């Protein structure tokens, strides 16, 4: 497989893509086949849970593979260096919008949050604009969007992306307006790096497609266990938890559910792959969309490890401002959706 990809990346796409389409079209048939092969009785709880799993798990894995591959290729057109260049000299509000959108497509790993932060600040990109990037990049990622699309439908996926963008833009803007420069660790301002060190490269189409495969190997290879575990728990809830069970806990009538969901979600560290299938099952059992969305965003967008990493460059007050502003933004979004839908 690896040999084929290296020798002819495009040829491999030409073979694998039709295979993907056939497999995807046959998902229901295959799932039904497996269910009847196991001889599980119709309409039983266990049967429903297993049916849910054998249909949803391969579906989401297939979707994830395709999208991660495509995003892997798209990302070769965006580098952190290029993004920094584009953000240079931008004003506060316009810069926040651009930074949030670039946060979605620029390759980013929270382990690189510190170098990126310093590199941005050093070239004079305003703090607020930098924060917009740092909020959008982890929150709106391809894994979250694929799962939302696969399990909830395109409307919810779009809703998540748009509200995520709004939070990243406004939170960054507010932080920018608070004049928090003094809460950045002093050593950050003392670094004078040679910013033109990395040689600009223009990858060939072959290299770009290879990057797509690499992304699949890296991301799908990393998240599939969480995904299967998440869908398994989701399947269990789907089959066994009674209807409306969540209504009193995470329903619209429980006004306190949104802030509580965010308070639980912020320190909770999970990736989108593990949490979304579970949240999906909760929604089915009577949790409201706003509360669900708020919980998801706080788990995925704000994570303890990333905050700890950022502590190297931010003093404590700014850490609290950062987490506080984003958390409040997420709570507002939660209430708005509970109110509207």
The residue written with tokens 């495969």 in the block is: 213
The rounded distance, in Å, linking the Cα atoms of 149 and 135 is 21
Residue identified by tokens 């509200």 is 163
- Cβ neighbours of 144 (radius 10 Å): 25
* Whether 96 contacts 125, CB under 8 Å: no
Nearer to other proteins, 116 or 143 (CB): 116
Considering the complex, what minimum distance in angstroms separates the CB of residue 196 from other proteins?
A: 8
Nearer to other proteins, 83 or 291 (CB): 83
Considering the complex, state which of residue 201 and residue 253 has its C-beta at the smaller distance from other proteins: 201
Rounded to the nearest whole angstrom, what is the least distance from the CB of residue 112 to other proteins in the complex? 4
End-to-end CA distance of the chain: 47
Q: Cβ closer to other proteins: 215 or 262?
A: 215
Read off the DSSP letter of residue 251. S
Shortest Å, Cβ 12 to other proteins: 16
Cα(167)–Cα(87) distance, rounded to whole angstroms? Answer: 19
**Interacting residues with other proteins (CB under 8 A):** 79-81, 84, 107-109, 111-112, 114-116, 118-120, 187, 191, 193-199, 210, 312
Beta bridge partners of 184: 314
Q: Contact 185/312 with Cβ under 8 angstroms?
A: yes
By beta-carbon proximity to other proteins, the closer residue of 26 and 191 is 191
Kindly tell me which of 200 and 243 has the beta carbon lying closer to other proteins: 200
User: In whole angstroms, how close is the CB of 76 to other proteins at the nearest point?
Assistant: 10
Distances (CA, A) of 298 to 83, 135, 156, 274, 290: 25, 11, 16, 14, 12
Write down the least CB distance from residue 32 to other proteins, Å. Answer: 39
Q: How far is the CB of 264 from other proteins (least distance, A)?
A: 27
């Amino acid at each position: 497989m690896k040999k084929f990809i290296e020798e002819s990346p495009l040829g491999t796409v030409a073979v694998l893509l039709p295979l993907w389409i056939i497999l995807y079209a046959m998902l229901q048939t295959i799932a039904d086949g497996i269910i009847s092969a196991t001889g599980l009785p119709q309409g039983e709880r266990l049967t429903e849970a297993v049916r849910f799993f054998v249909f949803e798990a391969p579906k989401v894995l297939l979707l994830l593979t395709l999208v991660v591959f495509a995003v892997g290729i798209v990302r070769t057109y965006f580098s952190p260096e290029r993004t920094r260049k584009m953000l240079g000299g931008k004003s506060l509000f316009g810069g926040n919008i651009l930074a949030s959108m670039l946060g979605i497509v620029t390759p980013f790993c929270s382990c690189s949050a510190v170098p990126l932060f310093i590199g941005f600040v050093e070239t004079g990109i305003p703090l607020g604009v930098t924060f917009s990037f740092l909020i959008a990049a982890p929150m709106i990622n391809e894994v979250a969007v694929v799962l939302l699309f696969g399990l909830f439908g395109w409307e919810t996926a779009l809703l998540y992306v748009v509200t995520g963008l709004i939070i990243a833009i406004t939170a960054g803007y507010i932080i920018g307006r608070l004049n928090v420069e003094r809460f950045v660790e002093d050593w950050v301002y003392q670094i004078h790096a040679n910013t033109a060190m990395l040689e600009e490269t223009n990858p060939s189409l072959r290299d770009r497609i290879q990057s797509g495969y690499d992304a699949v190997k890296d991301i799908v290879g990393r998240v599939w266990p969480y995904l299967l575990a998440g869908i398994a728990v989701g399947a269990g809830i789907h089959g066994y938890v009674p209807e409306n069970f969540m209504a009193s806990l995470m329903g619209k009538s429980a006004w306190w559910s949104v802030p509580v969901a965010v308070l639980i979600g912020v320190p909770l560290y999970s990736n989108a792959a593990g949490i979304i299938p579970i949240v999906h099952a909760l929604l089915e059992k009577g949790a409201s969309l706003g509360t669900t969305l708020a919980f998801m965003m706080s788990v995925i967008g704000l994570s303890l490890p990333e905050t700890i990493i950022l502590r190297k460059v931010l003093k404590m007050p700014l850490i609290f401002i950062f987490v506080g502003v984003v958390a409040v933004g997420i709570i507002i979004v939660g209430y708005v959706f509970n109110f509207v839908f």
